[in-house]
Amino acid sequence: NAGVMQNPRHLVRRRGQEARLRCSPMKGHSHVYWYRQLPEEGLKFMVYLQKENIIDESGMPKERFSAEFPKEGPSILRIQQVVRGDSAAYFCASSPSSAYEQYFGPGTRLTVT
């Protein structure tokens, strides 16, 4: 059973460009979570999604950030007009249900130049 997959693993964007991060959950998991981690810091919750629904986006900045988890295909975290402060590791996790243990992907390391 393949684990959570994220791509790309590393992404370099110039200021003002768009970043698109993809996450394919584990087979059978319909709950997806996105976290941001700055160097030497903890995991900051961004958004929780189920198929076609955003359940909780309380951790996501209201501007420039959006997330989706369509009926078919991976979950996407989209950052428009990136700024240097967006440079971080973005982790996706999936679980079979809420409050279960979460399985993390390898992360996407975003660098904004």
Count of CA atoms in the C-beta half-sphere (13 A) of 60:
23
Site for another protein in 47-86 (CB under 8 A): 48, 55-56
Chain positions 7 to 46 lying near another protein, rule: CB under 8 A, are 33, 35, 40-43, 45
Of 13-21, 69-77, 79-87, 105-113: span binding another protein (CB under 8 A) = 105-113
> Is position 107 an interface residue for another protein (rule: CB under 8 A)?
yes
Instruction: Kindly give, in sequence order, each residue whose CB lies less than 8 Å from that of residue 52, ignoring residues fewer than 6 positions away.
Output: 69, 70, 71
Q: Is the Cβ of residue 2 or residue 99 nearer to another protein in the bound state?
A: 99
48 within 8 A of 55, measured Cβ to Cβ: yes
Instruction: Provide, rounded to whole angstroms, the least separation between the CB of residue 106 and another protein.
Output: 5
H helices, E strands: number in the chain: 0, 11
If binding means CB under 8 A, how many residues of this protein chain bind another protein? 21
CA distance readout (Å), 97 to 52, 58, 60, 105, 112: 15, 19, 21, 17, 34
Q: Which residues bind another protein (CB under 8 A)?
A: 33, 35, 40-43, 45, 48, 55-56, 91, 93, 98-99, 101-107
